[in-house]
């Protein structure tokens, strides 16, 4: 008789591709816990910035990561653009990543499993995940989505500046020496450039249900 094991769904992809919204919706659909792993890095970046620490100090960043409290993930500003940039900066430090890998793997391996989204879930954190989906979209589409999102919040934003930031962050995340942003060899590519949220959800559930048999 086969041993029951956690069912893990890994959702990876660049910023503003829609992976977070999709992952959270999939978790609700399949009755699985959801972890936005990007919040871990955002929390560290935010903590360091708020305390006036040097974000390029790898040793200090690692110490902050080791002492991270779950309550730190509730900071109201973690989902903002600034925190996203801070996260990308501290994520390049191997000391930070090492401190968080065990936490993420422990979360994923508890029953009944989990949905995790990030940039290296399928390649580093959960290479044995049951389903791996790499969610992407063109830089132009992602910049437009981010611009519209910020405009809806009443902020004055420049599309060209957002596009430049998206491209810069892609280059930084893809070029980092530790766990660079890239799809796992066995990940299914889901391009959401021409899909709305419902379309992306339908495509993802088709992928997952196909893997579940």
Q: What is the pLDDT of residue 2?
A: 42
Q: Using CA atoms, how far apart are residues 40 and 91, in angstroms rounded to an integer?
A: 10
Q: What is the mean pLDDT of each run of 10 residues along the chain (213 residues)?
A: 78 91 96 90 95 96 89 86 90 90 89 93 94 96 92 89 92 82 94 94 96 77
Q: Which residues are annotated as a binding site for ATP?
A: 13-21
Given CATH 3.40.50.300, say whether it is the number of domain 6-33+113-213: yes
pLDDT at position 126: 95
* pLDDT score at 149: 87
The DSSP bridge partners found for residue 116 are: 10, 35
- Where are the domains positioned within the chain? 6-33+113-213, 36-109
pLDDT in tens, 40-85: 999 999 999 999 999 999 999 999 999 888 788 888 889 888 998 9
Residues β-bridged to residue 11? 117, 133
Binding-site positions read: 13-21
SS (H, E, C) the chain: CCCCCCEEEEEECCCCCCHHHHHHHHHHHHCCCEEECHHHHHHHHHHHHHCCCCCCCHHHHHHHHHCCCHHHHHCCCCCCHHHHHHHHHHCCCHHHHHHHHHHHHHHHHCCCEEEEEECCHHHHHCCCCCEEEEEECCHHHHHHHHHHHHHHCCCCCCHHHHHHHHHHHHHHHHHCCCCCCCCCCCCEEEECCCCCHHHHHHHHHHHHHHHHC
Name the pTM for this structure: 0.81
Alpha carbon distance 34, 212 (integer Å): 19
Residues of the chain with pLDDT > 90, as a percent, come to: 66
Longest dimension (CA), the chain: 60
């Amino acid at each position: 008789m086969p041993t029951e094991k956690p069912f893990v769904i890994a959702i990876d992809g660049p910023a503003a591709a829609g992976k977070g919204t999709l992952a959270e919706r999939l978790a609700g659909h399949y009755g699985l816990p959801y972890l936005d792993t990007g919040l871990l890095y955002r929390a560290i970046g935010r903590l360091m910035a708020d305390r006036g620490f040097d974000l390029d100090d790898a040793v200090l960043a690692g110490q902050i990561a080791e002492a991270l409290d779950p309550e730190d993930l509730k900071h109201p500003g973690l989902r903002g653009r600034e925190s996203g940039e801070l996260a990308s900066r501290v994520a390049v430090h191997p000391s930070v990543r090492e401190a968080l890998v065990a936490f993420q793997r422990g979360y994923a391996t508890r029953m009944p499993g989990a949905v995790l989204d990030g940039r290296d879930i399928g390649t580093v954190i959960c290479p044995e995940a049951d389903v791996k989906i790499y969610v992407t979209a063109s830089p132009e589409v992602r910049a437009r989505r981010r611009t519209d999102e910020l405009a809806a919040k009443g902020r004055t934003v420049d599309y060209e500046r957002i596009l430049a930031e998206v491209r810069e962050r892609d280059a930084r995340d893809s070029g980092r020496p530790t766990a660079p942003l890239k799809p796992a060899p066995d990940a299914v590519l889901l391009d959401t450039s021409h899909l709305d949220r419902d379309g992306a959800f339908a495509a993802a559930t088709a992928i997952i249900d196909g893997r579940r048999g």
